[in-house]
A and B are shown apart, each in its own frame.
Chain A
Amino acid sequence: MSPLQRSCRRLLCGTRSLLLLPWLALPLAGQSPSAGGLLATIVDERGTPVPQVTVSLEQNGGLVRSLVTARNGQVTFGILTPGSYAVLAEELGYQPVRMHDVPVQAGGTSQVRITIRRMPPPITAVADVPSNATMSIATVQGGGSDRNLRLFPRTTDISSAGRDFSDISVPDDGRPGYAIAANGLRPSWSSLVVDGVPEALLRHPGIPSEAATAPLFARDGLSDVSRTGFGASADDPSVLGSTLEGTSQRGTGKFTFRPWATYSGAKLGGRGADNPDDSAATSIQAGLAMGGAIKGDTAAWFVRGDYQQLELPSAAPFTLGSTMADSDANLLGAFASAAPAGSQHDINRWLAPTVRTWKGGSGSGRLDWRFGPNTLLAVRAGGASWTEQNPQVGTELVNGAGAELKAHDVSAAAALTTGSDGWTSETRLGGHSAARDWTGAPLPATLIAGDALAFGGAANLAGNFKEMGIDLSEAFSYRMGVHTLKVGGAVQHRTVNYDYIPGSAGLYTFGDLGTFTAMTGAFYQATRGAASPDIGVSDLAIFAEDQWQATPAFQIFAGVRFDHEALPTDVIAQDAAWERVSAFNNAAVPTDSKSQDFAPRGGFRWDAAGNGHTVLSGSVGLVPGQYDLAAFAEAAQFDGDVTVRRSTGVLAWPASGSTAGTDAGQALTTFAPNVHKPRSFKTDLSLAQVLANGTTLTVSGGYRHADYLLQRTDLNLVAGALATDADGRPLFGALEQYGALLTPTVGSNRRFPEFDHVYGLTSSGYNDHYQATLALDHHLNQSVSVQVAYTYSHTTDNLPGEMSADPANRLSPFPDGLNGARWEDGRSDFDIPHRLVATLALATPGKSAFNLAARFRMQSGLPFTPGFRPGVDANGDGAAGNDPAFVSPDTPGLATVIAANSCLSSQSGSFAARNSCRDAAVQALDLSAAVKLVHGLALTVDAYNVISTSTGLYDHALVLVDPHGTVTTDASGHTVLPLLANPGFGQLLSRRGDARIIRIGFRVEN
């Protein structure tokens, strides 16, 4: 079989294997987080076990190990690196058989049954057969393919593998990374584990929805990627979200040399809308992966590296239409002209398309050394360094021009696995370091609220983020008859430094062209003194588990895990002034309650017929999360050392600092005294049925309830509403109007005037997530396969503003409730109910092998709350992005908008419910083709987003502030806001998303 054919077969069979994972189980010789096992049974054509058969385990064409079958025809490879293997059975007088694509998963034992037939000599070829592996692992959830490591690598790092899972919500605004939501939770609750060692997935902590990347772990350096939605095993540290797990590639006995390179250009098949400036930006990628043996099948090495220089033009930053407060035909030009002359204040770069660049490389290596048959030492190390120019930062309106990211990751890990048929011990040691240094453009962030325009640096920049961690863990398992006991522990120490103050570069908000020209609006800036502190966090985990094979068909497991996390108590300074006026100690540090550190878990698996064709499995348990270090770092920064400067009226744009505003008081962030570590209750149930003619159907569902999540409240909000508007909206500040902008008078919304916002963080947040997945895996023949996975989910929570980089937007606009209920209890910001991934793979055999694959992905749009334009603070609470609109047909022009949007019609006469409307669904079709030329050289063509929907930032403003109106008071004493309907409600404001890219290249497979 050719390498290309093998690649295709790996796709076909590997995917099937993954889908089988939840219900195919065997008693395990000893579970290991980073090693698996293989049990091969060799029988003749009558089904009789054949002893003394030489069984060789191969990987990437190289020999891994060889053993001889016992009298029962079986041979066991006890400790294997997870990945895909080939099993070769040879015996004199029999036709040799090589079974391909046998998966080995960490913590599981795969079983294959190979039939060899008597054959008189001469024997000239090995018979190739597909895998019939069954395996046991109860913790991995499918729903998509995780083996497409060589397919659709739009970005080469492991984080892009999330696009192959239907139960993962991926970013649809052009930003790469692993998930914007998993289990209905923000991505910071998900994690990356490679070779059983936690790795950095370092995000901008001020952007909760940022899907982080990990270029250090490139696809060509990985042999396996999976996703764990529920770590039901007690030794799985697990997280509230999901864990992306990878296994680094190891060398084999065969020398491999696999260079690759690609080229793409903005004009090579790109869309005009994605490149309106007709940029000639080009991108190149090149890499090399090599491996081989050091000492037979005892030791092997593997190294890889890549370099990428990517240039991607952006779409026009603003899609201007009739939605704006200003009707100027050349609005962008008008704003550019209105800005003071001079290059320092040139705003054109933010009003025009830009080119985003990514430049850098990564390298890694791995060494495997086997000491005897059951002791394996694996060591890996690597690093990545890259810079990004003009990256899109979060979901802010500003297009990212002028921003820069310098980043580097370093990681090293070692695993020592040893044992016998009855026991297994695995010791892992890892360390990592990651840094992200963001700088913003010199011009302060400037928002024109009424026209939904923005220029200048992003308000969430600059920021410098570092994380270092070291992990040590031990897992020991021992089999006693039908029971397999497992105990172990882990210690981890992380040091993070999140040097970041939201709004530190200044934020100007104007209403429209007129007020921008007049320089009247609002200004905000947070200034600080000392640098952010290093935060050292220690974690200790102890676990025990029993797996009981009650009957050959019924397996039960149960365990308990103890997780204790200790936060430093000396990094948050006590603010005496705050304590004096409030009696609250802002330096309160959450501490673990011992009773809440225990997390029981359990599950079952029932193989109805004992052949793996009908399997029902389920699991239930508690998963303790970890403290939100971004929040902790915020409390350590905002501990009396941050002063807010504000101003309204005539501004000194674009000045910042002392010349731009007046001291509005200290800003604090403080934990409530009773903050708990977050946790999640998770349960899964799965029914899998292997149908005839190569079709497998899986129906699975799960429920997650995460609680003790952090909710935000402003302790320094004025003691009660100052007034009520005509719709019943409580107003917490005296409103000033500047054209299409409403903003509170500085200090009017504060309880204690010497302080600005004082955010209190409580454990009152929760998240409820239901999910059901239907997966179909159909193999038409050896060359064509289809996998379809559809996931439906429903997520509710009480955590508004999760998509926003401004912490103020996570405040409830109705802190005292609305009509006796909590307005924020509702549809989650991450509720993306429909997700579909369908993959078609075609592989032609022969010397001129041709592989073609297509992947179609669809997911619902993000939900949103019909409200006001960003920057408008309709209730004067200091948050300029959290106010829902009042859906009233009495508002001029709104009856038409209500009639045109079904999500509004049922809300007439009330405040818009949280996330009651939704952006358009996003679809994308990717194609990948490879043609083998000669000597393993293949020509590759990858086309991403061949067909896709336009997406980006949508206009979520249902109403606009009428720049020609004024705030008045009616006869009842209620405040009347001057509002107009926004005819552009729901339309695209800024086109963003994955552009169409066509890459041509080559790769060598040997």
Chain B
Amino acid sequence: MRRNICLILLGLSAACSNAGESLKYPSLAIGRLAVSDYFDRDASGGVTPDDTTFAGARFALLAPGGTDTLRTAVANASGVAIFDSVPVGAYRLVVDRHALGDSIGVVQGDTGLVRLVTTQDSITAIRTIGLGYSVVSLATARTLPVGRRVFVRGVVTVPLQTFSDTATYLNDSSSALRVTNAHPIGRTTRNGIGDSVMVLGTIAQVHGLTVLDQGAIYTLAIGPAPVPITVTVTDARTAQGGTLDAQLVKVIGTTIRDTATVNGVFVVRASDPADSTNLVDVLIDPALGAPASFFPIGSTMTITGALSYDGANVWGIKPRMAGDIIIP
């Protein structure tokens, strides 16, 4: 009987035995998601020797289509963030934009799904995220606040070695922009008209107009020389209300009215042939070295150059080379 009673007691204890027993479905296999970031310094869209790692970037794991963050991880000094113990499944990896600051954006790798599935050897996924300054169009660059570092991509209309002030002029399909204090990156120290370049610089303003200052120029490719926009004398002087600032323009058939040196700059004043009072200044950079005798008063002149602002609501045409000045 004692034995029977013991059996009953044993049974009673067994009845409660599952209280601490895990009866849930075993957790799904877990994997690891390794995120490697780099700072795309040359805006190449891929990893290059010029790029560096980016510490402190904060990454979030989300369900596909979801907005709630499931997990977060922060990149270490090597630019690596690890999501450990991630159950297999599909996820979306995003970069926490708020942690990056205004200038840095994601240039590659945070779209699409990351999928962890079990395999015989590993359930580790590796995702590379490229960070970098935002690449914006020239028109967008003109709208950005001062101090924002951005990449712009454009075609060189005025090479950096053209003028004595180390400025270079770019244009793209949206607009044109002057890059001040420009310097080349890489093995070359020069660039040429028509080169496709990527320029990293800081938005600044000169005489109230937006420029890209401290521009570091990466030459991407060599291309044909851009064709200047043919404008009237009036359009050249006003830059069409400023919209043609830094644009490469061409004015045909002007009449040379005067020459002078103003504030140390040699200026050739030309007018519409039909209206001698409708004038535009042609700014001869010292690097061009053109003497006053080159511009006979009354002569007809077709001039090509970048529109340069003098700070008094007047733009002048700044020829790049002798070929930009045609006096029959």
Which residues on A are within 8 Å of B, measured CB to CB?
A: 546, 548, 556, 558-560, 579-584, 595-596, 598-602, 620-622, 672-674, 676, 679, 681, 705, 707-708, 713, 715, 718-724, 730, 734, 745, 748, 750-753, 760, 762-764, 973
Which listed residue (A546, A705, A734, A751) contacts B15, Cβ 8 A? A705
A752 close to B89 (CB less than 8 A): yes
Stretch in contact with the other chain, from B4-12, B49-57, B250-258, B316-324: B4-12
- Interface set of B (CB-CB < 8 Å, partner A): 1, 4-5, 7-8, 10-12, 14-15, 18, 22-26, 28-29, 62-68, 70, 87-91, 117-119
18 inter-chain pairs at a CB distance below 8 angstroms, sorted by A residue, are A558-B1, A558-B5, A560-B4, A583-B29, A595-B14, A598-B7, A600-B11, A602-B4, A620-B12, A622-B14, A676-B18, A707-B18, A719-B89, A720-B70, A723-B66, A723-B68, A748-B64, A751-B88
- Contact across chains for B29 and A582 when beta carbons are under 8 A apart: yes
**Does A622 contact B70, Cβ atoms closer than 8 Å?**
no
A580-B117, A583-B88, A599-B11 are contacts. A722–B23 as well, Cβ < 8 Å?
no
Given contacts A622-B15, A707-B18, whether A582 and B65 have CB atoms under 8 Å apart is: no
Q: How far is the CB of A487 from chain B (nearest CB, A)?
A: 14
Q: Judge whether B4 and A722 touch: CB under 8 Å.
A: no
Shortest Cβ distance from residue B37 to the other chain A in the assembled complex, whole angstroms: 23
Given A546-B1, A559-B4, A581:B88 Cβ within 8 A? yes
* A-B contacts besides A584-B28, A707-B15, 16 pairs, CB < 8 Å: A548-B1, A583-B28, A600-B10, A601-B11, A621-B8, A681-B11, A707-B18, A708-B23, A720-B62, A721-B63, A721-B66, A722-B65, A723-B67, A752-B89, A760-B25, A764-B24
Expressed in whole angstroms, the Cα–Cα distance for A152 and B51 within the complex equals 89
Point out the residues of chain A lying under 8 angstroms from B15, CB to CB.
622, 679, 681, 705, 707
Asked if B23 and A719 sit within 8 Å, CB to CB, the answer is no
Tell me whether A581 and B8 are in contact in the complex, defined as CB-CB below 8 angstroms, given that A596-B14, A753-B90, A760-B25 are known contacts.
no
Complex CA gap A708/B17 in Å reads 11
**CA of A675 to CA of B15, assembled, Å:** 16
Cβ–Cβ contact B67 & A600, under 8 A: no
Q: Is there an interface contact between B23 and A764, defined as CB atoms closer than 8 Å? A: yes
Residue among B14, B63, B89 making CB contact with A722, cutoff 8 Å: B63
State A803–B11 Cα separation when bound (angstroms).
31
**A718/B14 contact (C-beta < 8 A), A602-B4, A762-B23 known:** no
B89 touches A600 (CB 8 A): no
Please, which residues of chain A bring their CB within 8 A of the CB of B66? Answer: 718, 720-723
Report the separation of the CA atoms of residues A168 and B188 in the bound assembly, to the nearest whole angstrom.
93
Are A719 and B63 within 8 A (Cβ)? yes
Point out the residues of chain A lying under 8 angstroms from B87, CB to CB.
719
B8 touches A602 (CB 8 A): yes
Contact across chains for B65 and A558 when beta carbons are under 8 A apart: no
B8 touches A556 (CB 8 A): no
Chain A residues within an 8 Å CB radius of B62 = 720, 722
**Bound complex: CA A556 to CA B66 (Å):** 63
A751 touching B90, Cβ below 8 Å: yes
B68 touching A720 by the CB < 8 A rule? yes
Contacts of A674 in B (CB 8 A): 22-23, 26
A620 pairs with B90, CB closer than 8 A: no
Known: A556-B1, A674-B23, A708-B23. A718 touches B63 (CB 8 A): yes
User: Which B residues are in CB contact (< 8 Å) with A760?
Assistant: 25
Q: In the complex, what residue of chain B is closest to A673 when comparing beta carbons?
A: B26
Chain B residues whose CB sits within 8 angstroms of the CB of A723 once the complex forms: 66-68
Contact assessment for A601 and B8 in the assembled complex, using a CB-CB cutoff below 8 Å: yes
Q: Which residues of B contact A734 (CB under 8 A)?
A: 65
* A734→B1 CA distance, assembly (Å): 63
Shortest Cβ distance from residue B28 to the other chain A in the assembled complex, whole angstroms: 6
* A861, B4: Cα distance in complex, Å: 42
Instruction: Check B89–A751 contact: CB distance below 8 A.
Output: yes
The smallest beta-carbon distance between B173 and chain A, in angstroms, is 36
CA distance A718 to B4 in the complex (A): 51
Q: Which residue of A lies closest to B3 (CB)?
A: A558
- Please name all residues of chain B whose beta carbon is closer than 8 Å to the beta carbon of A705 when the two chains form the complex: 15
**In the bound complex, CA of A763 to CA of B11 (Å):** 18
Q: Are A582 and B88 in contact (CB under 8 A)?
A: yes
Residues of A within 8 A of B23 (CB): 672, 674, 676, 708, 762-764
Residues of A within 8 A of B11 (CB): 598-601, 621-622, 681
Question: Measured between alpha carbons, how far is A601 from B8 in the docked complex, in Å?
Answer: 6
- Return B241 CB to nearest CB of chain A, in Å: 39
The 10 nearest A-B residue pairs measured at CB: A722-B66, A558-B4, A681-B15, A600-B7, A583-B118, A751-B89, A764-B23, A720-B70, A600-B11, A760-B25
The answer to whether A620 and B64 touch across the interface, beta carbons within 8 angstroms, is no
Q: Within the assembled complex, what's the spacing in Å between the Cα atoms of A599 and B117? A: 43
Given the known interface contacts A558-B7, A721-B66, the answer about A581 and B118 at a Cβ–Cβ threshold of 8 Å is yes
Give bound CA distance, A355 to B181, whole Å. 93
Nearest-CB residue, chain A, relative to B7: A600
Q: What residues of B have a CB within 8 angstroms of the CB of A560 in the complex? A: 4, 7
Contact A672 B26, beta carbon cutoff 8 Å: yes
Provide the residues of chain B in CB contact with A707, threshold 8 Å.
Answer: 15, 18
Known: A546-B1, A600-B7, A722-B67. A708 touches B91 (CB 8 A): no
Contact A762/B8 with A719-B89, A721-B68, A752-B90 known, Cβ cut-off 8 Å = no
A797 CB to closest chain B CB (Å) equals 14
* CA–CA, A226 and B64, complex, Å: 57
Contact residues in B for A596 (Cβ distance below 8 Å): 14
Q: Give the docked Cα–Cα distance between A1002 and B255 (Å).
A: 130
> Judging by beta carbons under 8 Å apart, are B118 and A582 in contact?
yes
Chain A neighbourhood of B63, CB < 8 A? 718-722
Q: Which residues of A contact B29 (CB under 8 A)?
A: 582-583
Among A581, A679, A748, the residue within 8 A (CB) of B117 is A581
Contacts of A558 in B (CB 8 A): 1, 4-5, 7-8
Given A722-B67, A762-B24, A764-B24, the answer on whether A708 and B7 have CB atoms closer than 8 Å is no
Min C-beta distance of B113 to chain A, whole Å: 9
Q: How far is the CA of A599 from the CA of B25 in the complex (A)?
A: 26
Cβ-closest chain B residue relative to A545: B4
Return chain B residues, CB-CB under 8 Å to A672.
Answer: 23-26
Residue of B nearest to A559 (CB): B4
Closest B residue to A750 by beta carbon equals B90
CB distance from A975 to the nearest CB of B (A): 9
Closest to B15 in A: A681
| List of A residues within 8 angstroms of B88 by Cβ | 581-583, 751
**Residues of chain A contacted by B68 (CB below 8 angstroms):** 720-724, 730
Complex Cα–Cα for A681 and B11 (A):
8
User: What residues on B are CB-neighbors of A715 within 8 Å?
Assistant: 25, 28
Q: In the complex the two chains form, what is the Cα distance from A598 to B91 in whole Å? A: 46
Task: Report the separation of the CA atoms of residues A730 and B88 in the bound assembly, to the nearest whole angstrom.
Answer: 20
Chain A residues contacting B1 (CB-CB under 8 Å) are 546, 548, 556, 558
Chain B residues in 8 Å Cβ range of A719 = 63, 70, 87, 89-91
How far does the Cβ of B252 sit from chain A's closest Cβ, in whole Å? 57
Tell me, in angstroms, the Cα distance from A559 to B63 when the chains sit together: 55
Question: Hey, which chain B residues are within 8 Å of A718, CB to CB?
Answer: 63-64, 66, 89-90
Instruction: Give A748 to B92 CA distance when docked, in angstroms.
Output: 12
Q: Which residues of B contact A582 (CB under 8 A)?
A: 28-29, 88, 117-118
Given the complex of chains A and B, what is the CA–CA distance between A707 and B17 in angstroms? 10
Could you tell me if A620 and B25 are in contact, using CB atoms closer than 8 angstroms?
Answer: no
> Could you say which of B5, B14, B25, B117 contacts A602, with CB atoms under 8 Å apart?
B5
Cα separation A579 to B117 with both chains bound (whole Å): 10
Nearest A residue to B29 via CB reads A583
**Is B18 in contact with A708, judged by CB distance below 8 angstroms?**
yes
Docked pose: A760 CA to B5 CA in angstroms: 38
Whole-angstrom distance from the CB of B172 to the nearest CB of chain A?
36
* Nearest-Cβ distance from residue B29 to partner chain A, whole angstroms: 4
Measured in the bound complex, the distance between the Cα atoms of B64 and A315 in whole Å is: 47
Closest to B30 in A: A583
A745's nearest neighbour on chain B, judged by CB, is B65
Q: How far is the CB of A865 from chain B (nearest CB, A)?
A: 23
Min C-beta distance of B5 to chain A, whole Å: 7
Docked Cα-Cα span, A546 to B7, in Å, equals: 13
B65 contacts across to A, CB distance below 8 A: 722, 734, 745, 748
